[in-house]
Structure 1
């Protein structure tokens, strides 16, 4: 049961990262739109690069979260069977 608890804790930490990054991404996309409206091309390009990196990091965190979910389910089933 300890390994299950550890897996759930790790998954919750990943979820926190995921939610934080999603919030930051939304904030950056709002700034991106404002810069586009103001036609601030240099700052816009820099922000677009940052957004692309954040989206890639978000994809990676989603992948980790999915793997953790599978591991939590597998561990829970093992614990349930052995009890």
Structure 2
């Protein structure tokens, strides 16, 4: 293999390595951001669930009180 061919091949390999590394970095950041979004949504759902649970209890007690009169 001639020098120029070897350098060209080396540059192609380097370009591919850089591309793959950048792809990995982007995917890691995307995954972290996706995880943050999911965790935020879970927290919001947990708060909504807690509020709904309190509402269910209030409704139950209100109905129980109304039927016991």
Give TM-score, length-normalised by structure 2.
0.60
- Spell out structure 1 runs of 4+ moving beyond 6 A: none
Which position in structure 1 is the counterpart of 2:47?
Answer: 74
Structure 1 position 50 matched with structure 2 position 23? yes
Matched residues, number: 44
In structure 1, the gaps of 5 or more residues are 1-39
RMSD: 0.8
Unmatched tracts of structure 2, length 5 or more: 1-12, 57-69
Q: Distance in 1 between matches of 2:47 and 2:39?
A: 12
Q: Deviations over 1:28-57 (max 9, x none)?
A: xxxxxxxxxxxx322111110111111111
Mapped to 2, the partners of 1:74 and 1:44 lie a distance apart of 45
